[in-house]
Structure 1
Amino acid sequence: MYLIHIFDENIEPSHLSQLELHGSIPEVLQRVSSDSEPTTSARSDGILMNLLGGVLQAKDDKARREMKILISRLLREDSVDDDNRFDVSKDTLYHLCHRCFSALVLCLSEAIGTDGSKRDRGVLMAEIAREADNLQWIVDILIEKRMANDFVKLWADQRELAELHSKIPTMYRHEISRITAQVCIAIGRGNILVPKESRFLLLSTWLDPLYEDFGWMRRAYKSVDKKLVEDGLSRTILTLSLRQQQIILLNWFDRYLNKGDDCPNIQRAFEVWWRRAFIRQYTDVEDGSQLQITVCSYPN
C-alpha cells in the first residue's frame, strides 16, 4: 500500500491515472478537487445564517445582547479586509428582515386580540420589544454593509404593521419607531441612497408613528440621541420636493404646537423650507430632481 502526498491543488485527473491506484481514483479526486465541497463563501454564509438566526431566537436576553455585540464586531472586522470572503450576504440579511416582520405582525395581532384565555399581555409586549430590537440589529448591519437601500422601500411598504402599531399602547410599541429613526439618520448621513419617492413613502407610512412615540422613545432610552434623530429627520425631509416638504412640515407645525418636546423639534428644517419656498422663490422652478442631497446648510 502506497501513501501518496499531493501538494499541487491543480493536479489533473489524467496525472492520477498514471499512478497505480486501481479503484481508488474517485476517492482521491474527492480529496483534492476544490469542486467537491461548497465554496468558502457559501459555507460561511450558511454558518452566519444559523448564527444570526440563533441570536434572533435566543431566550436569554443577556446572552442575546452579548452575542449581538460579538457577531457585529466580527462582521465589522471582516469588512476591513478587501479580500474578505467570510461576509454575510444581502439575501441572508433580508431573509432575516422578513422573518422579523412576520414575527412583529404576529405579536401585534395577538396582543390586540388578547383576552383571558390567551397568553399574558405582558409576555406579548416583551416579545414585541424583543422582535423590534432584533430588527434594529439587522438594520444596523445592513447600514454598516451599505446594503440598506432596499430596506427603505421594504419598511415603507409595511402598512399592515403600521396599522397594528397604532392600536398598541405607546409604552410597548415605541421600540418599533426606533427603526424609522435609524433609517432617517442613515439617509441624512448619506449612508442610504434611495429615490425621492421611496423617501416620501417612508415618511408617509412611519412619520406619524414616530411623532406619537418620540416622547416615550427618548425617555426610555438614554442611548437615543434626540438631536441626532431630529437632524436625520430634518435632512431626510429636505431631500424631498418643495411640495412634499410643505405637506410634511405644515403637519409637523401643528403637532409640535400641541405636543411640544414630545414631538421632534425640526424647526430648522421648517426654516430652510420657508426660505426655499418663499424668500428665494424656488417655486418658480419646477422641482423634478431625483438627486438625494444629504448635506444642507442650516441658518444660524
Structure 2
Amino acid sequence: MVKVSAGIKFGRGVSSCLKYLEAVPWSEEEEEKLRDLFPKLNVDDDTATDVLDRLFTLNSVDSQRTLTKHLIWSITNSTDANARNELKSLVKGLLCKSSVYEKPYPDLNKEDIFAVCKSCLDSLSSLLEEASSTDASLKLTKNKKDRPLIERISKQVDNINWLLDILLDHQMAEDFADMWANQEELLKMHHNASPMVRYELSRVSALLFIALGTRKLHCPSETRLKLLQVWFSPMLSDFGWLNRCKKGLDMKALEEAMGQALLTLPLKEQYSLFMDWFQCFSKHGSECPNLSKSFQIWWRRSFLRGSESFAIESR
C-alpha cells in the first residue's frame, strides 16, 4: 500500500501507511520486504525516519562486534546457572553459522573470543590452585558468599567448552587447541588435585578429542601430537569420573573419537599412546575408554602390509 501511495504521490495515504507501520510489530518476512522497499522510495515524512530507524542502524558491523563481545562477557560472568545456560543457548544460536539470523557481516572476531577464553582459563587456574592448596588461611580469605569451589570450577569449564563450541562452529579452534596443549600449569594442578576436581579439565580435552576424531578440528601434526601427549594420560585417569558425571558428554562418541584422533599421529607415536591405553585398560577395565577397535587398526597398519592390510580394514 505504501508503495502504491508513494507512486501516485498520495501524501495522506503514505503518511497513514507509515504511521501504521511504525506502530505495529513486524514479522521477519515483513521486515525483509520493508528493508528491500524503503531504499527505492522517495518519501519525505517524519514518520518515515522512525520506520527507517527500526530497519537500519549506523555502523552495524562495529555495533554487532561490540555487542557480541559484551554479551559473551556477561554470560561468562553470570551468577545464575539457569539464566546462564539459557543465554548460552540463545547467543550460540545467534552466532551459529547455520543460524537463520546470520547476516552478511564479517566473521566472528576471534581475538574477542580468545580474550574471554584466557580470562576463563586464568580463573580456572586460580580455582584449581585453591583446590590443591593445603593452606587453610587461603581458603578462609575467600568471600563467604562464594559458591562451593567445585561448582565454581565447573562453571569455568562450562564457559570454556561453550566458547570452544563457538570457535569450532566458525572453524577458529586451531589456536585454542594449541593453547590447551601448552597448559603446563593446569597439567601440574591436575596431578595434584583430587579426582572429583581434576576430571573437570578432561571435559575440555574431551571436546577437543571429539572434534579431532570427527574431522571438525584440523590441526597441524605438531599440535595434535602435543595435545594428545599432554592430555591423553589425564583422560585415561579421569574417564571413570567422566562416565559417572557426564554433564551432557557422549561417552561413546568420546571413545570413538579418541581412537580416531590417535590414528592421525605417526605410527611411532601411536605405538606409545596405545601402549599406555593397553596397560590402563588391562588394569582398570570400564574405568578406561575402550579403544579396542582403533587398537586393531593400528596393529594391522603397523604389522601387516600391502593388500592384506587394506583387505582387513575394508571389511
Q: TM-score range by the shorter chain?
A: 0.7 to 0.9
Check the 8 A contact 2:127/2:149 in 1, yes or no. yes
1:106 maps to which residue?
A: 126
Pair 1:56 & 2:73 matched: no
TM-score normalised by structure 2 residue count: 0.74
Pair 1:238 & 2:263 matched: yes
Cα displacement string for residues 14-37 of structure 1 (whole angstroms, at most 9, x for unaligned residues): xxxxxxxxxxxxxxxxxxxxxxx9
Helix, strand or coil at the partner of 1:119: helix
CA distance in 2: counterparts of 1:253 and 1:163, whole angstroms: 24
The code of the aligned residue for 2:69 comes to: M
Pair 1:176 & 2:236 matched: no
CA distance in 2: counterparts of 1:152 and 1:236, whole angstroms: 13
Pair 1:88 & 2:108 matched: yes
TM-score normalised by structure 1 residue count: 0.77
Pair 1:65 & 2:85 matched: yes
Alignment of 1:1-300 (within 5 A): 39-76=59-96, 79=99, 83-85=103-105, 88-119=108-139, 123-221=148-246, 223-280=248-305
Check the 8 A contact 1:165/1:173 in 2, yes or no. yes
Check the 8 A contact 1:133/1:175 in 2, yes or no. no
Q: How many residues align?
A: 252
Q: Which runs of 5+ in 1 are unaligned?
A: 1-6, 9-36, 283-296
Cα displacement string for residues 130-171 of structure 1 (whole angstroms, at most 9, x for unaligned residues): 111110110011111111111111110111111112211111
Cα displacement string for residues 250-288 of structure 1 (whole angstroms, at most 9, x for unaligned residues): 111001111111111111111111101111279xxxxxx
Distance 1:114 1:47, change over 3 A: farther
Helix, strand or coil at the partner of 1:117: helix
Percent identity among equivalent residues?
Answer: 33
The alpha-carbon deviation at position 57 of structure 1 amounts to 0.8
Check the 8 A contact 2:233/2:276 in 1, yes or no. no
Q: Does 1 or 2 have the higher relative contact order (CA < 8 Å, sep 6+)?
A: 1
CA distance in 1: counterparts of 2:276 and 2:282, whole angstroms: 10
Check the 8 A contact 1:249/1:270 in 2, yes or no. yes
CA distance in 2: counterparts of 1:107 and 1:214, whole angstroms: 22
CA distance in 2: counterparts of 1:176 and 1:55, whole angstroms: 20
Check the 8 A contact 2:213/2:261 in 1, yes or no. yes
The code of the aligned residue for 2:130 comes to: E
The alpha-carbon deviation at position 87 of structure 1 amounts to 5.2
Cα displacement string for residues 41-94 of structure 1 (whole angstroms, at most 9, x for unaligned residues): 222111111110111111111111111111111112775577532753111111
CA distance in 2: counterparts of 1:163 and 1:136, whole angstroms: 21
Check the 8 A contact 1:44/1:87 in 2, yes or no. no
CA distance in 2: counterparts of 1:103 and 1:52, whole angstroms: 16
The alpha-carbon deviation at position 110 of structure 1 amounts to 1.8
